[in-house]
Structure 1
Amino acid sequence: MSIRHGLLALLSQGSRHGYQLRAEFEASTGATWPLNIGQVYTTLARMERDGLVEPGEQDEQGRIVYSITPDGATEVGRWFATPITQTERPRDELAIKLAMAVTTQDVDVAEVVQAQRTATMRTLQELTRSKRGLDSPLDVAQTLILDSKIFQAEAELRWLDHCEAVLSRRSLQHPQEEP
C-alpha cells in the first residue's frame, strides 16, 4: 500500500489536516506502519500537484485542511478495485538471505534458520498478545492488520520448516566430505 492511497482513502471520508491524517493512518494500520509527519505533508504536496487533493481553509491552529478532488476519488476507487499482485510486493529479504547462506561457505544455514524461527515465534507471540482486547467495531481495522501479520508469521514458520526439510534431505543425499 502506498502512503498516497492510504491518505486518499482517509480523505474520501472527509477533509482533514496532516496531523489528523497521520494519526488516523496509524490507527487504521494498527500502528504497524508509523508515518513521519514530513512524509504526510510531502505526499499531500505531490497529490495537490497531481490534482488529487486541494487545500482548503486553515483551522483555528493554522493548519491547512485538505479535501479530496473528483480525480482523487477516482484514483482511490481504482486502487480499491485493483488487486495487489505478488510481483508488486517488495522482495523477500529472508528468502534472499537463506539463498545466500546456502551458497556461502562457512555459514551454518541451520543456525540462520533457527535464529529466524526464534525471532518469528517471538513476533507471533507479541502479535497474538496485541490482538487481545480488540473486539469493538472500531478495532476491526487493527484486528485485520494483526491477523494479516499473524498469518504471515505462521506462513514464515511453515516455510522455515520446509527449508529445514529440504536442507536435511540435501545433506543426506550429498554428505559433506571430511578433508
Structure 2
Amino acid sequence: MSIRHGLLALLERGPRYGSQLRTEFESRTGATWPLNVGQVYTTLSRLERDGMVEQDGEDGSGHALYAITDPGRAELNSWFRTPVDRSNPPRDELAIKLAMAVGAPGVDIREVIQSQRHHTVQAMQDYTRLKARALGTEPVNRDEVAWLLVLEQLIFQTEAEARWLDHCEARLVRLSMLPPDEDTAAAPEPAAPVTGTAAGHPAEQR
C-alpha cells in the first residue's frame, strides 16, 4: 500500500493538515488500512524532503498545512499511469503456511485448509453484508464510491482465496493417491517473474 501516493492524491484537492489527511484517507478506504497520525506526519516529512510537498501556512486553528508541489503532482500522475507491479509479489502468509505444511510431521494440512476456508468464507460474508448495506442508498459522493471499490476488491479477493483453497485440497487428494516413490520428485525450478499483463483473466465485474 502506498501511503505516500495516497497522501499526494488527497493533497491534489487542496492543502491539508496531518490529522485531516488521516481522516480523509480512512474515509476513502473505509478504514480498511487504518493510519495513525505519526505515520502521516512521517510520510509528509519524507515527501517534503523529496520536494513533493511544502508547508503552506496554517489554518484558522493553527494546524500546519501541507500543499502538493509540481514535482509531487508529476509523481502522482506517474503513479496513476503506471500499472501496479506484479513481477515481484509480496509474501503471502497463507501460501507460505500451506507450502510448509505439505509433508510437515504431525500437521494435518487438510485441517489447516478447512480452518482457513471457514475463516475466509466468514470474511466474504461480512464483506458482502457491508456491500449490501452500502448499496442500500445510492453512493452520492467520491468517498462512498471509493469505499465501495475497496469493498468489492476485498470480496473478489476472498472469493478467489476460497476457490484456491478448494483447488489445494483437490490437489492434496490426488497427491495422496500417488505411490510413495512418486511423492518425492525433485522440486521444480522457480517460476520466471511475470511481466506485462498478469497471467489469467481479471475477475468478471459485477
Displacement after TM superposition at 1:130 (Å): 1.1
Secondary structure of 2:54's aligned partner:
strand
Query: Where in structure 1 are there 5+ consecutive unaligned residues?
Result: none
Name the aligned partner's letter for residue 162 of structure 1: H
Displacement after TM superposition at 1:69 (Å): 0.0
Structure with a larger share of its residues in helix: 1
Range moving further from structure 2, 142-151 or 126-135 = 126-135
Name the aligned partner's letter for residue 68 of structure 2: I
Q: Which runs of 4+ in 1 moved over 6 A?
A: none
Name the aligned partner's letter for residue 103 of structure 1: G
Inter-partner Cα distance in structure 1 for 2:89 and 2:60: 41
Name the aligned partner's letter for residue 165 of structure 1: A
Q: Which residue matches 1:62?
A: 62
Aligned Cα root-mean-square deviation (Å)? 1.2
Secondary structure of 1:114's aligned partner:
helix
**Residue-by-residue CA offset, 1:144-175 (whole Å, 9 max, x unaligned):** 00000000000000000000000000102247
Q: Which residue matches 1:25?
A: 25
The TM-score, its normalising length taken from structure 2, stands at: 0.82
The TM-score, its normalising length taken from structure 1, stands at: 0.94
The percent identity for this pair of structures is 57
Name the aligned partner's letter for residue 73 of structure 1: R
Displacement after TM superposition at 1:88 (Å): 4.5
Q: Which residue matches 2:44?
A: 44
Name the aligned partner's letter for residue 104 of structure 1: A
Q: Which one of 166, 170, 174 corresponds to residue 165 of structure 1?
A: 170
Name the aligned partner's letter for residue 125 of structure 1: Q
